[in-house]
Amino acid sequence: MKPHALVTNDDGIQSAFLHRLVEALLEHFDVSVAAPASEQSWIGRAISRHNPVEAIPCADLFHHNVQAWSISGTPTDCVNIALGNLLPNKPDIVISGINIGFNTTETLILSSGTIAAAIEGAQWGIPAIAYSKCIPSHLFDAIANANGHTSEGEFSNSIYHACQHAAKLALKTVQSPPKPGTVRNVNFPVNTTDSTTTEQTFPAKIKLGSLFSETSPGTYKFRFAAGTEDKSQMNSDRAALERGNISHSLLDFSKIGQVQAQSLH
């Protein structure tokens, strides 16, 4: 019997990156999907306290025998509702992603809906992984606006290899689970191949500054800023990506009153 994976994301259930990950996982897992009905990026661990959340079955969006629900809530809502209400049995792993764009550095990790969904799984005592994919700057807007679909052959191959790495690491995680309450945060570089090296990393510290620009007097609009990184952090997640390697950090939420981010040993 195959292990069971619950898959989610923050880009929405229509994201091609999520669908390609599911296809790769099916070789090793039985898969259920509970993902947001629409994009929920930068929402962190938000929970829909005041509004009702609807879960609509949508297995027809996927090939093979995949349970799936489109959920009108946040990534954390999706995992919580799936674990507490939709799935008859606890899955063997919770997988979030693959995110359109990287999730590196302490600041972005704390803002990420992708990572928040994995954290929710870890809080239920289930092994959890968050996957994210770097995208070339000249392709980012087009790919994001197209829900992860791309006609770029070379980059499409890079996504394929990222999904293969993701499926293999997920299987290894089930076979040898990390300490309860921890989350594997994995970021794939722009050019990912079957032989791309994986580095054990820690989340880089950055000075982010303002994320908003004034569009009219008293009105501000979000704009992404990469921030300023301490380049001396040679083992950071962002440094590994700049070297063209896969970044693999272990986020430790297991200690009461203390959150640690550390590299794997």
Between 262 and 206, the more confident residue is: 206
pLDDT band with cut points at 50, 70 and 90 for residue 207: confident
Angstrom distances, CA of residue 124 to CA of 29, 87, 90, 94, 202: 20, 13, 9, 10, 24
Say if residue 139's pLDDT is above 60: yes
**Alpha-carbon distance 93 to 7, whole Å?**
9
pLDDT band with cut points at 50, 70 and 90 for residue 195: very high
Mean pLDDT confidence for 89-95: 97
For residue 49, give both structure tokens. Answer: 């306290």
Question: What torsion do the CA atoms of 240, 245, 250, 251 make, to the nearest 10 degrees?
Answer: 60
> Under the phi-then-psi rule, with left for phi > 0, alpha for psi from -120 to 50, and beta for the rest, what region is 170?
alpha
Pairing assessment for the beta strands 93-100 and 4-8 based on DSSP bridges: parallel
Burial of 182 (0-12, 13-18, 19+ CB in 10 A): buried
Mean pLDDT confidence for 13-32: 96
CATH superfamily, with its number, for domain 4-262: Survival protein SurE-like phosphatase/nucleotidase (3.40.1210.10)
**Alpha-carbon distance 117 to 113, whole Å?**
6
DSSP-based three-state secondary structure for 22 = helix
| CA nearest to 132, candidates 86, 179, 94, 186 | 186
Q: What is the mean pLDDT of the chain?
A: 91
**Alpha-carbon distance 33 to 191, whole Å?**
27
> Under the phi-then-psi rule, with left for phi > 0, alpha for psi from -120 to 50, and beta for the rest, what region is 71?
beta
